A and B are shown apart, each in its own frame.
Chain A
């Protein structure tokens, strides 16, 4: 049965302003592309794209038993150090600190994840719309990053698979780096400001907004591109 009330991303208005075409997924309205899917896909080679993934599942586990709980989903979680991750195409387990993990998953899979990580004496928070997610992809994404963060994000120092919590344009973000993407998770209140700031510094270096048709949701860290 179709839901009476639709779920909107905190970036809904920002993408509307950029002529986005939306699609429905798991009750969410999410940008598919911004009017020219071929051109946007080609931009990955010459510049970079900014895509809204705010509909993905984001669950944090916190407490002394967080590691046990995360391991029930993915056994590799137990051997992660803080700021490391393990992932498949469908989910990513990010170890933020000794006792805190963030799990990202495809939209609609949250309940299955929650069921596998359930446990006692554990704080489990399914953020839903409380966190926004912007993804930067494309060969030119470093040009945008080097104008956006005061933290050293050199690729030899922060390799693919690393998770860092820092700020981008004064907005606290959890950055999950895969071999081809920078996934920026942040509190929803800041989403539009973060989008505006990235587009402002990025438009001069080949950044354009796009949607999940250009960058479909996938968490695998894969090979370096």
Chain B
């Protein structure tokens, strides 16, 4: 893994400067059944193609942001702040 990930604040940096939290998932409501909670915690789509992910610029500005990354081709990605996630073309 040697691609350059784009931080919305700092620009393109080596991927080693970042940490990865996991896929973007919506937290269930407290009242939802336990099966939705198990899905939320343990299950991931693991698909080939674009997906939303949480990344943190740990060795840099230390900000959290969302990356819409192609899991087969990491150089193809788009990074936005959480507030601006609706601007991503792909859900």
Contacts and interface: CB of A to CB of B under 8 A. Distances in A.
Contacts of B59: 165-167, 172
B61 A97 contact: yes
Contacts of A172: 58-60
B52 to A, nearest CB: 21
Contacts of A96: 61
**Which of B16, B59, B62 has the most CB atoms of chain A within a 10 A radius of its CB?**
B59
A150 interface: yes
A151 B57 CA distance: 14
A97 B56 CA distance: 14
Contacts of B17: 166-167
Contact of B14 (A83, A150, A164): A150
Interface in A130-177: 150-151, 164-167, 172
Given A82-B9, A97-B9, A98-B9, A165 B14 contact: no
Q: Is the interface of B mostly helix, strand, loop or mixed?
A: loop
Contacts of B41: none
Contacts of B13: 151, 166
Nearest to B81: A98
Interface in B4-39: 9-10, 13-14, 16-17
Interface in A58-101: 82-83, 96-98, 100
Contacts of A97: 9, 61, 63
Nearest to A166: B60
A97 B7 CA distance: 11
Interface residues of A, number: 13
Chain B, interface residues (CB within 8 Å), range = 10 to 19
B60 to A, nearest CB: 4
Contacts of B9: 82-83, 97-98
Nearest to A96: B61
Contacts of A164: 10, 60
Nearest to A100: B61
A151 B63 contact: no
Nearest to B12: A152
A167 B9 CA distance: 16
A26 B23 CA distance: 50
22 contacts: A82-B9, A82-B10, A83-B9, A83-B10, A96-B61, A97-B9, A97-B63, A100-B61, A151-B13, A151-B14, A165-B10, A165-B57, A165-B59, A165-B60, A165-B61, A165-B62, A166-B10, A167-B17, A167-B59, A172-B58, A172-B59, A172-B60
Interface of A: 82-83, 96-98, 100, 150-151, 164-167, 172
Interface of B: 9-10, 13-14, 16-17, 57-63
Given A165-B61, A165-B62, A167-B59, 14 more contacts: A96-B61, A97-B9, A97-B61, A97-B63, A100-B61, A151-B13, A165-B10, A165-B59, A165-B60, A166-B10, A166-B60, A167-B17, A172-B58, A172-B59
* Smallest CB-CB A-B distances: 3 pairs: A165-B60, A167-B59, A172-B59
